[in-house]
Amino acid sequence: MTERITVSEGRSWLRLALIRTSVVIAALACACSPAPPSQQPAGNDNADRVHSSARHDFRVTTVADGLDHPWSMAWLPGGEMLIVERPGRLRVVRDGALQPDPVAGLPAVYREQGQGGFMDVLPHPDFARNRWLYLSYGKPNDDGSEGATAVVRGRWEGDRVTDVEEIFEADAWGDNNNHFAGRMAFGLDGYLYVAVGDRMVTPNALADHPALDLSNHMGSIVRLHDDGSVPSDNPFVGRDDALPEVWSYGHRNIQGLAVDPLTGDVWSNEHGPRGGDELNLIVAGANYGWPVVSHGINYDGTVFTNETERPGLESSRFVWTPSIGVSGMVVYRGDAFPWWRGSAFVGGMVGQQLARVTLEGRDAVSLETLLEGELGRIRDVREGPDGLVYLALEHAEELTAVVRLEPVPNDIEPLFNTFSIVAIDPSTGESGVAVTTRNPCVGNAVPWVRAGVGAVATQGGTRVEYGNDLLDLLEQGVAPQEAMDRVVAADEGRERRQVGVIGADGRSAQWTGSGQYGAEEQGDWVAERTGLHYAVQGNSLVGTAVVDSVAVVFERSEGSGRHLADRLIESLRAGQLLGGDGRHGETQSAAVLVADPRPGMSRRPDGVTADINVCEHPEPVGELRRIYAVASETLGFRRLEQFVGRDVFQLKVMLHALGYFGPASPSPSVDSPGVLVYDQETVEAVDRFRADQGWRTTVPGYVDARTIERLWSLLEEGGRAEEVRDRIRDVVRVRR
């Protein structure tokens, strides 16, 4: 492997971009009206049709039809499938057939229409032994004038539920029929998580909104024992101004709640108003800020807040604007679709789509849209015990179906994709290129930069002369589009080329010749995307989803204060995860090249600050990231045990800001004597920090990825993160 040098990642500051008593009921009225007759589901009239995605091909087949607003799904150990219908019915699919009669013994609902009916069904983790089944629903008050989210549980007896008892009633009463939420999930810790909506209180209330008031359950996720009692370690236990059930708050209307079965992380999604649907990682005690922060506006077009984030408030990991009307979700870990493992699948109702969000650790890094406009509104998404993906379809006045995605045999084929991004950072004047391909040493020919001028990617049918020719014209003051027109017109082989160029002012131009268009069976399309400060291009084998993902990730890092090379590598990684070169373990390459016109930022006369060329590697984009981190000595590139380096300075600054290192002294300066040494004082500060987190280790001063993640999390909660980033930003810049 051949490699040049680079810069590095501090922490993934970007979080994409591309967010409540126990009463036994002696007798409960049954709201089980007769089930409507069956009819064919909308949008599934061709079961043999093969649908394509970046990683898998699949068919959509019907599991059960003739359903009245199916809202949720679950499976029992014996193989039976349960389907909740909003008007107040629980249906059973047994031996592949939808049983005609609903399950008896369940409570009456607040409303059969709107959102106040049956909402979620969930078997106990130890269901095979205790037979407990949990149901969330819109509960009416005594005269039916108001409703609130409630949870009951009962013993499953095959065609009825007995011993029904209420284990939770939300303090979230209202006379409307909206924003009940009601999603439930059992964590790997055995606790029950329940989402409660904000009951559609106007966001114009801002800081006075009940979702920000811990004395009620509106806009919260609550955490309970399986009998509804409150765990003693809930974050607000013992506070007079807070309800003890609350686990997180500042939510609007959560529609999806899922636990990653591998990591135990709890994820949710929630409706924005007009714009700003959110995907959130749920953190104990965190405030998610609704409606003080939001990416949306009122339904009437008026603005209620201009803030999308604020120190001390938990930020979303992904945002959809415009809204897709997010619904049920699952973190997929099955075997039927191996390339999809670790992805979050989110239903879209208004968007009539299935969104696949690639998760890497605790970050959302790419987005693929599936089945857009094909099936209609998707109300719920689940992974079945067979590893298949199940969807509940729900339309306004039609009977609908539950369907599932089934892989087409032998569909996983190698993908040989080339894609690149050219970009600038207007705040620093940097210009750069990042590219990956199936061929060796892509950095030898494709990326071109000139400090203060712009960047070029000559990726398709590469003609190296394009690099300097385009940059020469830009330096002469020619606009990017005119420059592109000139060099393309002079090239007899132009139909084989794909080129992107961006000037220092952010204007860009792209060319894709007819020889680079999509394959005939895909129709003619050009994989190009442009934004204010970037242009992304992909060859004929790159699906538009890959290019979209690169663009979304780069856009969402705008204004983050991170180095351009860091942002470019992250964007390239998003495309690689979604549909990059599938020949893992074989020869591939990737490169990043960045120049900075500011004096003193580079040790090279051409102003280049980051230049990595991974010539041959089974995971070239991952290798870009590794080299970048090591060269910059950004905290996290190694485990610390009595070393010397710039990462030690970063650690001291972070510990000082949290009061663990030299609390009576000024914050460390990079010029201070011994500041780069991992001395005993620093070791003891780390040990105190880890002890306060309840962590133990046999290695004094042990710093691992969890330690760094927790440091950043506490800095963000305390509103000190931006200050610390400013202190360490220039330290991690490599001037090569």
List active site positions: 179
Asked whether 620 and 613 are in contact (CB, 8 A), the reply is no
Inter-residue contact 220 to 287 (CB < 8 Å):
no
Which residues are CB-contacts of 619 (< 8 A; sequence separation ≥ 6)? 584, 588
**Farthest-apart Cα atoms in the chain, separation:** 86
Cβ-based burial of 669 (10 A; exposed 0-12, middle 13-18, buried ≥19) = exposed
Q: What is the 3-state secondary structure (H, E, C) of 645-700?
A: CHHHHHHHHHHHHCCCCCCCCCCCCCCCCCCCECCHHHHHHHHHHHHHCCCCCCCC
Q: Which residues contact 319 (CB under 8 A, 6 or more apart)?
A: 16, 17, 18, 272, 276, 277, 278, 279, 295
Query: DSSP readout, 556-618?
Result: HTTTS---HHHHHHHHHHHHHHHHS---TTS--EEEEEEE--STTS-SSTT-EEEEEEE-S-S
Contact criterion met (CB below 8 Å) for 699 and 679: no
Q: Which two tokens stand for residue 12?
A: 């993934």
Q: DSSP labels for 507-571?
A: -EEEEE-GGGSPPGGG-S--EEEEETTEEEEE-TTS-HHHHHHHHHHHHHTTTS---HHHHHHHH
CA–CA gap between residue 702 and residue 683 (Å, rounded)? 8
The CA distance from 635 to 648, in Å, is 7
C-alpha to C-alpha distance for 201 and 357, rounded to whole angstroms: 30
Residue 62 in contact with residue 41, Cβ under 8 Å? Answer: yes
The two three-digit tokens of residue 436, written as one number: 């990956």
Question: Which amino acid belongs to residue 139?
Answer: K
Please tell me the distance from the alpha carbon of residue 638 to that of residue 648, in angstroms, as a whole number: 11
Cis peptide leading into residue 291 (ω within 30°):
yes
Residue 484: in which H helix or E strand, if any?
helix 480-489
Which backbone phi and psi does 118 adopt, to 5 degrees?
Answer: -70, 140
Locate the DSSP E strands across 130-199: 132-140, 147-156, 161-169, 181-186, 192-196
**Rg, the chain, Cα only:** 27
Report the candidate in 107, 162, 93, 169 with the shortest Cα–Cα distance to residue 382.
93
Q: Under 8 Å CB-to-CB from 52, ≥6 apart: which residues?
A: none
Instruction: Give the whole-angstrom CA distance, residue 591 versus residue 608.
Output: 14
**Bridge pairing between strands 181-186 and 277-281:** unpaired
Cβ atoms within 10 Å of 37's Cβ, excluding its own: 8
Alpha carbon of 579 to those of 239, 545, 607, 712: distances in Å? 49, 8, 33, 31
Query: Hey, what are 217's tokens?
Result: 């359950």
The answer to whether residues 460 and 491 touch, using CB atoms and an 8 Å cutoff, is: no
The torsion angles phi and psi of 379, rounded to 5 degrees, stand at: -90, -35
